[in-house]
């Protein structure tokens, strides 16, 4: 009884937890009320700041034009994530006997990188370009940390962040730093392209030619020009628009129920039992051989592409350009989860077998106690579905020169086949001569 009580008491951590509902946030965003989504999250803050909440708060604040508050929330998430890479032993131990939901959520690598994208844009919109450059350098440091920690690092999201850094440094006139970032972007896009399907954008090659020419790096300039060709020229008195189009939502995690038969002949306490059990997933045995049917719940994630999967911009009668895919968040999320799934399954089965042993031990003491312990095991068996749910599904980029002045952008939203499925006009976009104007636009369909 004494050994069983801690397990029974810890159920209180799993039941009755309040907080925000993502569906409420989603409804407000879908109806064009980012300020309402932000206000809702503020009113439903958890007692202790946690990473998923801070991510959602930061992104809704960004879309509500609360840029300083957005960066504050995302900074908190980043600080917690960095701290949690030093594991909390007490909560890890708790998770081994209850649920992965008690494990401190440290955020995925791609989530941490994308937070720097929004933080950089926040500074750009506050006319604090130096702050955006700091975010770019922080993103670079984080990428280098991930590379140093893992020889098999997948480079998910790094191409986009290095690309963004190049554009920000270029906007600030930091030509050497811009060139370095574009070179890194070319490498990172290539490293991840096989899994993400995102090709190195032509903009990278254009930038490498343009900047090596400006810096007088003759050998590199000639090499890049031979490789990528001559970049488009910009007429006098023009600026540039760099638009990031964010479409849909990254798929949220669901829950998958799996069953594993334990046989009467099994030595459940053998350290090699769990690997053996994994091979029995879904297997059917004669009832006479069956001791127990172990049921577990693990997270799952499936593709959920948005209606809009591309963009075309028309400005006036002479300027038109189609966006290029620069970040496929859905593919990165699915690939990241698939890489983690074997460990999640192993950890969940170890925990489930431990619960089974507790139940068996309790049952020997008293049948009612065994039933109660078994019930507790069922109630605490919940998949960890935490993630940054307001992230977009895909991000496209349009980079185009425009005459200095104020323009109305006509946006055409495309489906996966390139057909126009929606449109919107955005007025009062100011373009300054010889400067870059950044802007991001989000749809949720």
Examine residue 121 and state whether it is found in any structural domain, yes or no: no
SS3 content of the chain, % helix, strand, coil (to 5): 50, 20, 30
Q: How many domains does the chain have?
A: 2
- 258 and 375 both lie in a single domain: yes
Task: Show the domain range for 275.
Answer: 254-301+338-380
Q: Would you place residue 144 in the very low, low, confident or very high pLDDT band (cuts 50, 70, 90)?
A: very high
Alpha-carbon distances of 42 from 36, 54, 58, rounded to whole Å: 10, 10, 10
Examine residue 289 and state whether it is found in any structural domain, yes or no: yes
Say what the pLDDT of residue 77 is.
Answer: 97
Q: Would you place residue 355 in the very low, low, confident or very high pLDDT band (cuts 50, 70, 90)?
A: confident
Examine residue 438 and state whether it is found in any structural domain, yes or no: no
Examine residue 74 and state whether it is found in any structural domain, yes or no: no
Q: With beta carbons less than 8 A apart as the criterion, state whether 248 and 445 touch.
A: yes
- 280 and 356 both lie in a single domain: yes
pTM of the full structure: 0.90
- 287 and 357 both lie in a single domain: yes
> Of 329, 352, 380, which residue is a domain's last?
380
pLDDT digits (tens, 9 = 90+) for 204-222: 999 999 999 999 999 999 9
CB neighbours of 54 closer than 8 A, spacing ≥ 6? 73, 74, 76, 77, 80
pLDDT digits (tens, 9 = 90+) for 276-316: 999 999 888 998 899 999 999 999 999 999 999 999 999 98
How many residues in the chain? Answer: 445
Q: CA-to-CA distance for 140 and 159, rounded, in angstroms?
A: 11
Examine residue 409 and state whether it is found in any structural domain, yes or no: no
pLDDT digits (tens, 9 = 90+) for 35-57: 999 999 999 999 888 999 999 99
Say what the pLDDT of residue 71 is.
Answer: 98
Residue 9 has pLDDT above 50, yes or no: no
Examine residue 53 and state whether it is found in any structural domain, yes or no: no
Question: Which of 64, 11, 69, 80 lies closest to 386 in space, CA to CA?
Answer: 80
Q: Which strand (E) or helix (H) includes residue 149?
A: helix 129-149
Say what the pLDDT of residue 376 is.
Answer: 52
pLDDT digits (tens, 9 = 90+) for 387-423: 999 999 999 999 999 999 999 999 999 999 999 999 9
Q: With beta carbons less than 8 A apart as the criterion, state whether 34 and 63 touch.
A: yes
- 293 and 349 both lie in a single domain: yes
Examine residue 190 and state whether it is found in any structural domain, yes or no: no
Say what the pLDDT of residue 91 is.
Answer: 45
Residue 5 has pLDDT above 90, yes or no: no
Say what the pLDDT of residue 361 is.
Answer: 76
Residue 107 has pLDDT above 50, yes or no: yes
Residue 86 has pLDDT above 90, yes or no: no
Say what the pLDDT of residue 233 is.
Answer: 87
- 227 and 259 both lie in a single domain: no
- 215 and 293 both lie in a single domain: no
Residue 8 has pLDDT above 60, yes or no: no
| pLDDT (mean) for 245-258 | 96
Instruction: Name the 3-class secondary structure at 326.
Output: strand
Say what the pLDDT of residue 382 is.
Answer: 81
- 214 and 278 both lie in a single domain: no
Least reliable range by pLDDT among 78-82, 150-154, 369-373: 369-373
Dihedral sign computed on CA atoms, order 291, 374, 269, 383: positive
Backbone torsions φ then ψ of 271, nearest 5 degrees: -65, -20
Examine residue 209 and state whether it is found in any structural domain, yes or no: yes
Half-sphere exposure of 401 (CA within 13 A, CB side): 11
Percent of the chain at pLDDT above 90?
76
- 221 and 259 both lie in a single domain: no
- 207 and 282 both lie in a single domain: no
pLDDT digits (tens, 9 = 90+) for 369-394: 445 545 555 556 689 999 999 999 99
- 351 and 282 both lie in a single domain: yes
């Amino acid at each position: 009884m004494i050994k069983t009580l801690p397990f029974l008491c810890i159920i209180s951590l799993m039941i009755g937890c309040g907080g925000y509902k993502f569906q409420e946030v989603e409804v407000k965003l879908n109806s064009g009320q980012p300020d309402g989504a932000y206000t809702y999250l503020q009113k439903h803050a958890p007692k202790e700041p946690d990473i998923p909440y801070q991510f959602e708060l930061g992104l809704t604040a960004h879309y509500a034009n609360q840029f300083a508050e957005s960066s504050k929330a995302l900074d908190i998430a980043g600080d917690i994530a960095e701290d949690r890479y030093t594991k909390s032993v007490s909560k890890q131990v708790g998770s081994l006997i209850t649920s992965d939901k008690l494990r401190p959520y440290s955020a995925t690598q791609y989530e941490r990188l994308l937070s720097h994208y929004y933080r950089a844009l926040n500074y750009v919109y506050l006319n604090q370009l130096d702050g955006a450059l700091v975010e770019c350098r922080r993103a670079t440091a984080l990428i280098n940390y991930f590379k140093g920690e893992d020889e098999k690092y997948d480079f998910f999201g790094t191409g986009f962040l290095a690309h963004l850094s190049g554009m920000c440094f270029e906007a600030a006139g930091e030509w050497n730093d811009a060139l370095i970032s574009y070179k890194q972007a070319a490498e990172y896009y290539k490293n991840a392209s096989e899994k993400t399907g995102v090709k190195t954008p032509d903009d990278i090659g254009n930038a490498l030619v343009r900047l090596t020419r400006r810096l007088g790096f003759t050998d590199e300039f000639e090499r890049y020009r031979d490789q990528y060709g001559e970049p488009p020229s910009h007429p006098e008195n023009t600026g540039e628009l760099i638009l990031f189009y964010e479409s849909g939502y990254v798929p949220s995690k669901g829950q998958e129920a799996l069953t594993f038969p334990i046989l009467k002949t099994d030595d459940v306490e053998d350290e090699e039992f769990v690997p053996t059990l994994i091979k029995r997933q879904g297997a059917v045995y004669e009832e006479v051989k069956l001791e127990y049917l172990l049921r577990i719940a693990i997270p799952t994630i499936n593709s959920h592409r948005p209606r809009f999967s591309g963009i075309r911009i028309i400005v006036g009668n002479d300027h038109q350009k189609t966006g290029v895919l620069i970040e496929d968040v859905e593919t990165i999320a699915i690939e990241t989860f698939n890489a983690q799934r074997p460990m999640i399954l192993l950890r969940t089965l170890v925990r489930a077998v431990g619960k089974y042993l507790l139940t068996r031990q309790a049952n020997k003491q008293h049948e009612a106690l065994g039933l109660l312990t078994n019930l507790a095991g069922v109630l605490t068996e919940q998949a960890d579905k935490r993630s940054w749910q307001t992230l977009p599904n895909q991000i496209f980029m349009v980079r185009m020169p425009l005459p200095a002045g104020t323009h109305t952008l006509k946006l055409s939203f495309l489906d996966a086949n390139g057909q126009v499925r929606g449109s919107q006009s955005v007025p009062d976009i100011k373009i300054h001569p010889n400067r870059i104007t950044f802007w991001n636009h989000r749809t949720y369909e």
